[in-house]
Amino acid sequence: MSASGLRGRGGAGFPTGRKWASIRAGGAEVGDRYVVANGAEGEPGSFKDRELMVRNAYQVVEGLAVAAFAMDAAGAYLAVKESFTLQIETLSRAMRELSDADLLGEVPISLVAGPDEYLFGEETGLLEVVEGEDPLPRLFPPYLYGLFTTSPQFGWSAGVDARADVPGGEGPDVGSNPTLVNNVETLANVPLILTRGVEWYRSFGTERSPGVALATVVGDVVRPGVGEVELGTPLVEVLEEVGGGLPDDRSVQAVLSGVANPVLTGDLIGTPVAYEEMREAGSGLGALGFIVYDDTADMVAVAHAVSRFLWIESCGQCPACKFGTGEVTAYLERILTGKGTEHDVELIGARLDTVTDANRCFLGREEQIVIRSLLRAFPGQFVAYLEGTAGPWEPVPIPKIDDLVAGEVLLDRRHARKQPDWTFAEGP
Ligand SMILES: Cc1cc2nc3c(=O)[nH]c(=O)nc-3n(C[C@H](O)[C@H](O)[C@H](O)COP(=O)(O)O)c2cc1C
Ligand code: SF4
């Protein structure tokens, strides 16, 4: 896996081989190892995992079985949202057929159906759900504090035999239980790399970003969709091939890759879709969930939609994140409704500085990254609202996708009624 250069398709692009090696490190003292396939797909603008799980559930299950074998795991889990009924059907069938054909190996694989919350996809929130809890992120990553571990959460080190410190504690469960969490698309690459070889895999993509990847293209394009692209393909071609491009009289103003990377402005759509090049262009590849905004889009309203989404979805375990995302959303709303002043912009800047303080997970950082990038890229649009020359404000829906069939996106409109305590207000 290391030689293939495969990187995680869940968003962060972490080298898969290195992750596998870190889970394998250590001896019996680390406890049991586990593997979890992340099929939660909660990133706005992304639908590729659901498409993959319907079109080739076998490859996902096979990749998970191989990873479980390679980790010498005590158990493996395939986690998807309860609402992904079609995917649950295809995955269950694939698991049954592969198991009946005796092709899954020794490690038991279970399907876990989780809640709709964004944090279900965050890897430590995911582990909580596998354990039957709510998706509230943990303090430590899965390789340090894995599934079903009973080693103290506040211990200083993992991979150290905690038994010595536990009076009479000779039980088998005192290790950190290192747990491998990989995105379902990452795992679907595994069988192909193993059967066709590293050279074949590396014949696709670029030297630094080898292989192919699934991209979702939604927003102001002609035909939103999901498609497989060779890494290194210019973004403009991906928008054309996967999303049908823009109508003739429109041009790209901005592209967001999910809500975790800085905005890419329209002048940079020639950037190759590869980890390094997207980073060098000031943005990031993420999970290749491209949300396209044309030249008519209100980027202040977009900032509000992203900030509100993150505020609502923040779990509140870290005050700076919950209150910070809430405050930024409120200041943006003041600006959009014509009540804003320069002071509100200053306050947004100040909150963005602290929204990441003492955070357990990356959500607060997403707020900082995306909103700061929009302020920097489109200052004129913020000024126009302050000066009263823009508006009236029309709220922009966050592209949290419920379904994507034949070029038609069905958005989760219910999210507009979701409250910061994860209940829903009355309404249509
Ligand atoms: C707020 C948040 C939400 C996330 N949602 C998802 C998700 O829906 N699916 C996913 O695969 N990874 C998601 N991730 C990334 C996971 O935490 C994790 O990095 C990933 O599953 C690792 O797999 P990979 O190495 O194969 O990319 C999310 C991360 C954060 C911070
Ligand atoms: S950073 Fe935000 S979303 Fe993440 S655990 Fe803390 S409060 Fe929850």
pTM: 0.95
Question: Per-residue pLDDT averaged across 228-232, rounded?
Answer: 98
Q: What is the mean pLDDT of residues 242-264?
A: 98
Same domain (yes/no): 188, 241? no
Among candidate residues 222, 293, 219, the one with its CA nearest the CA of residue 251: 293
Q: Say yes or no: 225 and 244 in one domain.
A: yes
326 Cα: distance to centroid of ligand 1 (angstroms):
23
Q: Is residue 3 part of a domain?
A: no
Could you count the other beta carbons within 10 Å of the beta carbon of residue 400? 22
Q: Do 167 and 274 reside in the same domain of the chain?
A: no
Is 424 domain-assigned?
no
SS3 sequence, 189-202? Answer: HHHHHHHHCHHHHH
**Using CA positions, which residue lies closest to atom 4 of ligand 2?**
361
**Same domain, yes or no: 146 and 185:** yes
Q: With pLDDT > 90 as the criterion, what percentage of the chain qualifies?
A: 90
pLDDT of 310-319, one tens digit each? 999 999 999 9
Same domain flag for 243 and 323: no
Q: Does residue 423 fall inside a structural domain? A: no
pLDDT at 155: 47
- Same-domain check for residues 382 and 249: no
Give the pLDDT of residue 159.
45
Q: Is 116 in the pocket of ligand 1 (CB under 6 A)?
A: no
Q: Give residue 263's pLDDT.
A: 98
What tens digit of pLDDT does each residue of 163-212 get? Answer: 445 444 444 446 889 999 999 999 999 999 999 999 999 999 999 999 99
User: Mean pLDDT across the stretch 2-15?
Assistant: 97
- Residue entry with tokens 């590396």: 202
- The three state secondary structure string of 324-370 is HHHHHHHHHHHHHCCCCCHHHHHHHHHHHHHCCCCCCCCHHHHHHHH
Q: Of 189, 183, 181, give the one whose Cα is nearest residue 56.
A: 189
Range 239-258 average pLDDT = 98
Residues 106, 166 share a domain:
yes
Give a yes or no: residue 277 inside a domain: yes
Question: How many structural domains compose the chain?
Answer: 3
* Residue 347 domain-assigned (yes or no): yes
**Domain annotation covers residue 11:** no
CA of 11 to the centre of ligand 1 (A): 6
User: Confidence class of residue 154 from pLDDT cuts 50, 70 and 90?
Assistant: low
Together in a domain, 318 and 274: no
As a whole number, the mean pLDDT across the chain is 94
Residue ending a domain, choose from 171, 200, 229? 200
Q: Whose CA is nearest to atom 13 of ligand 1?
A: 121
Q: Are 120 and 106 part of one and the same domain?
A: yes
- Whether ligand 2 lies within 6 angstroms of the CB of 322 is answered as yes
364 has pLDDT over 90: yes
Last residue of a domain, one of 247, 278, 294: 294
Note whether residue 315 is domain-resident: yes
Q: Is 309 in the same domain as 261? A: no
Nearest CA to ligand 2 atom 6: 318
Q: What are the tens digits of pLDDT across the range 21-75?
A: 999 998 888 899 999 999 999 999 999 999 999 999 999 999 999 999 999 999 9
Does 149 score more than 50 pLDDT? Answer: yes
- The answer to whether the CB of 338 falls within 8 A of the CB of 391 is yes
Give the pLDDT of residue 290: 98
Domain residue limits at 254: 204-294
Return the DSSP state at 96: H
Please write the tens of the pLDDT for every residue from 242-251.
999 999 999 9
CATH code of residue 384: 1.20.1440.230
Residues 195 and 209 reside in one and the same domain: no
Q: Indicate whether 37 and 178 sit together in one domain.
A: yes
Q: Is the CB of 418 inside a 6 Å radius of any atom of ligand 2?
A: no
Q: What is the mean pLDDT of residues 73-101?
A: 98
In this prediction, residue 169 carries a pLDDT of: 47
Residue with tokens 């379902």: 184
Residue 6 forms part of a structural domain: no
pLDDT of residue 391: 86
**Spatial distance between the Cα atoms of 318 and 359, rounded to a whole number of angstroms:** 6
